[in-house]
Amino acid sequence: MSKKIDGNVPQGPIEELWDKHRFKMKLVNPANKRKFKIIIVGTGLAGASAASTLAELGYEIDSFCIQDSPRRAHSIAAQGGINAAKNYPNDGDSVWRLFYDTVKGGDYRAREANVYRLAQVANNIIDQCAAQGVPFARDYGGTLANRSFGGAQVSRTFYARGQTGQQLLLGAYSSMMKEVNKGKIKVHTRQEMVELVLVDGKARGIITRNIITGEFEKHSGDAVLLCTGGYGNVYFLSTNAMTSNSSAAWKAYKKGAYFANPCYTQIHPTCIPVHGENQSKLTLMSESLRNDGRVWVPKAKADERKAADIPDEERDYYLERKYPSFGNLVPRDVASRNGKQAVDEGKGVGATKVAVFLDFRDAIKRDGLDTIKEKYGNLFDMYNRITDEDPYSVPMRIYPAVHYTMGGLWVDYHLQTSIPGCFCLGEANFSDHGANRLGASALMQGLADGYFVIPYTLGNYLVTEKPDQNKIDTDHPEFETSLKSAKDRFNKLLGINGGRSVDSFHKELGQYMWEYVGMARNEAGLKTGIKKIAELRAKFWKDVKVTGTNDGINIELEKANRVADFLELGELMARDALERPESCGGHFREESQTDENEALRQDDNFCHVAAWEYTGDNKEPNRNVEELDFPNVPLTQRSYK
């Protein structure tokens, strides 16, 4: 049973939507705000910015993170930068252009109204972060520096060396700590959300598991904000942190929140290639490197010569050749697919032959070693540490890796999921990037949601709740039911006592995902993938071996819980990819491509969001549909020629 669903977007000219809507939304009386307790899961850019801003407004905040401090959330690893349409460089940027580029970059699979709002508030983010003391890069006159970034023809990216995510997160974290000091935020570290609690159909709390003691805890509130990041670790190898997981979002899905466009994953073109089978994760090299580095492979197959011995005329600078106007700066999906194609043709480089070159020889010749060192020094050092090669003298080897997931919990214009009172912010939601995210837009969206959207839309929800008459505490039977179901699940995992480690299942799942639901997908492969994942899931519940007990620290048990959810999510991703036979952005179906092997959308049938609705274990979920229309950015075939 497929339903039509509505994103609750207000009507009117797009430039005025958010301002007018902010006026229309109801406000919570300042004296009442302290009566509302808000649960915020996750402390990345979205969670930390929401926690600090809502605390400043007067709400009581319970903040949860899996790490030992909120400062360690994986937003910290973002390197390149954050976009905003300040137009400081006077090079033709505007809110409209940022909006336009983001809709087009997302291959027309995002909601226009959300994207416009994102572009509008982006400028406020830069102001806010600068005021917090975020040490953005500056020019000699003391003004902020900008650079251009993957896919953009204007310089709109603000940065702090190669550590922009770190500095923005530490800014949001310090804002949180300011409110901790005032007693408005209570931080619960080393806690993992294991259940969402609904009372009368509304989100009213969560069950967590304390990673240190193994104890389960009940927490109630007036609303729950899930800011729990993406699900790239379903592939086992990705650029996500080791504990990044989908479980909080998955619990919400199983309680009725729709999961939108799970097949939209972003494969980042500039990662350090895999070295061997004991590899635990992949490391991204900022794509700012593509501003000065040139991507190439040898023209000849299986060329065993060193890079320096291959003369220019025998090199194929394939991005510059195929896309003369964007060259090495084509969007991530285009760069990734072309990299894979070169390797598939047998032109890969390095010991494993599963890599392409990213070469700084010409940039060093042009700008001098010192300039390149100043721009990219820390990235070059990192590359050197990992690979033991000096990128100043030999070209880097890079290969695509799973990096970001555009899909996530479906939210309306208010960032509310299909469960009333359950909101979802940042990478964990599906909203703003469509089928492909542009570089330097993830940080922008996380902070936009937390600093500038949720403070308004959450109030509009809470105003309908009566804090005095409607208090739910953790003695409510729904908390007991959820607590029991969480405990049962962990006990079940401990009781299987099979023969295979959790990681071995996770790695096998990752192989199926990469092979069948990876960079290029087709019907037969997806069907095989669905079958294999289902078989693996059945094996997991019979044969996984979880050592230890439920008391105290048990890392294997934590991992088993997350992998069990990945084994379900992976299947939904494959199913979503199968039911979307078009190509768009990061979702490439081999059956739907142009003569030049570019992604070919099928707007007549698929210009919509697929929002999956859980119907029960091992039952086919419903594919609900939110239609998308593009009155402001006319649908065109993306072309980066």
Between residue 30 and residue 49, which ones bind other proteins under the rule CB under 8 A?
49
Q: Name which of residues 80 to 99 contact other proteins (CB under 8 A).
A: 86, 88
Q: Of these, 9, 15, 22, 56, which contacts other proteins (CB under 8 A)?
A: 56
Q: Name which of residues 229 to 288 contact other proteins (CB under 8 A).
A: 239, 241-243, 275-276, 278-281, 283-284
CB of 49 to other proteins, least distance (A): 8
Q: Which amino acid is at 541?
A: W
Instruction: Give the integer Cα–Cα distance in Å for 358 and 460.
Output: 49
End-to-end CA, the chain = 42
Q: Which is nearer to other proteins, 275 or 305 (CB)?
A: 275
Using DSSP bridges, classify how beta strands 544-545 and 60-64 pair: parallel, antiparallel or unpaired: unpaired
Instruction: Identify the residue whose tokens are 């969007």.
Output: 331
Query: DSSP alpha helices (H): ranges in 85-159?
Result: 95-105, 112-132
Residue 331 binding other proteins, by CB under 8 A: no
Residues in the chain: 641
Residue 511 binding other proteins, by CB under 8 A: no
Q: Of these, 12, 201, 346, 548, which contacts other proteins (CB under 8 A)?
A: 548
Question: Considering just the CA atoms, what is the radius of gyration of the chain in Å?
Answer: 24
- Site size toward other proteins (CB under 8 A) is 80
Residue 550-589 contact track with other proteins, rule CB under 8 A, x = bound: --xx-xx---------------------------------
Q: Which amino acid is at 347?
A: K
Q: Of these, 2, 8, 29, 69, which contacts other proteins (CB under 8 A)?
A: 69
Q: Which is nearer to other proteins, 76 or 577 (CB)?
A: 76
Residue 370 token pair: 């010192």
Residue 93 token pair: 């940027």
Q: Which is nearer to other proteins, 254 or 281 (CB)?
A: 281
CB of 179 to other proteins, least distance (A): 9
Instruction: Give the integer Cα–Cα distance in Å for 515 and 525.
Output: 8
At residue 501, what are phi and psi to the nearest 5 degrees?
A: -70, 160
Strands (E), 360-451: 396-405, 408-409, 422-424
At residue 37, what are phi and psi to the nearest 5 degrees?
A: -105, 130
CB 232 within 8 A of CB 241: no
Instruction: Identify the residue whose tokens are 């071995």.
Output: 504
Residue 545 binding other proteins, by CB under 8 A: yes
CB of 183 to other proteins, least distance (A): 10
Residue 53 binding other proteins, by CB under 8 A: yes
Residue 138 binding other proteins, by CB under 8 A: yes
Q: Which is nearer to other proteins, 72 or 251 (CB)?
A: 72
Instruction: Give the sign of the dihedral formed by CA 314, CA 319, CA 321, CA 326.
Output: negative
CB of 262 to other proteins, least distance (A): 24
Residue 512-541 contact track with other proteins, rule CB under 8 A, x = bound: ------------------------------
Q: Which is nearer to other proteins, 130 or 364 (CB)?
A: 130
CB 311 within 8 A of CB 371: no
CB of 463 to other proteins, least distance (A): 20
Q: Of these, 130, 354, 364, 536, which contacts other proteins (CB under 8 A)?
A: 130
CB of 237 to other proteins, least distance (A): 11
Residue 196-235 contact track with other proteins, rule CB under 8 A, x = bound: ----------------x-----------------------
- The residues near 636 (Cβ < 8 Å, ≥ 6 apart) are 104
Q: Which is nearer to other proteins, 271 or 343 (CB)?
A: 271
Instruction: Give the integer Cα–Cα distance in Å for 468 and 32.
Output: 9
Q: Of these, 25, 97, 100, 174, which contacts other proteins (CB under 8 A)?
A: 174
Residue 289 binding other proteins, by CB under 8 A: no
CB of 295 to other proteins, least distance (A): 22
Residue 26 token pair: 């109801």
CB of 439 to other proteins, least distance (A): 18
DSSP β-bridge partners for residue 268: 401
Q: Which amino acid is at 226?
A: L
Query: DSSP alpha helices (H): ranges in 215-312?
Result: 247-254
Residue 140 binding other proteins, by CB under 8 A: yes
Instruction: Give the integer Cα–Cα distance in Å for 109 and 190.
Output: 36
User: What DSSP element (H or E) covers 627?
Assistant: strand 622-627
Of 619, 561, 519, nearest to 265 (Cα)? 519
Q: Of these, 341, 501, 602, 632, which contacts other proteins (CB under 8 A)?
A: 501
Q: Which is nearer to other proteins, 478 or 543 (CB)?
A: 543
Residue 582 token pair: 């078009």
Q: Of these, 30, 200, 311, 385, which contacts other proteins (CB under 8 A)?
A: 385
Residue 1 binding other proteins, by CB under 8 A: no
Q: Of these, 27, 308, 369, 386, which contacts other proteins (CB under 8 A)?
A: 386
Q: Name which of residues 426 to 485 contact other proteins (CB under 8 A).
A: 451-452, 455
Instruction: Give the integer Cα–Cα distance in Å for 260 and 582.
Output: 16
CB 75 within 8 A of CB 200: no
Q: Which is nearer to other proteins, 164 or 416 (CB)?
A: 164
Residue 575 token pair: 């199913």
Q: Which is nearer to other proteins, 285 or 519 (CB)?
A: 285
Q: Which is nearer to other proteins, 44 or 298 (CB)?
A: 44
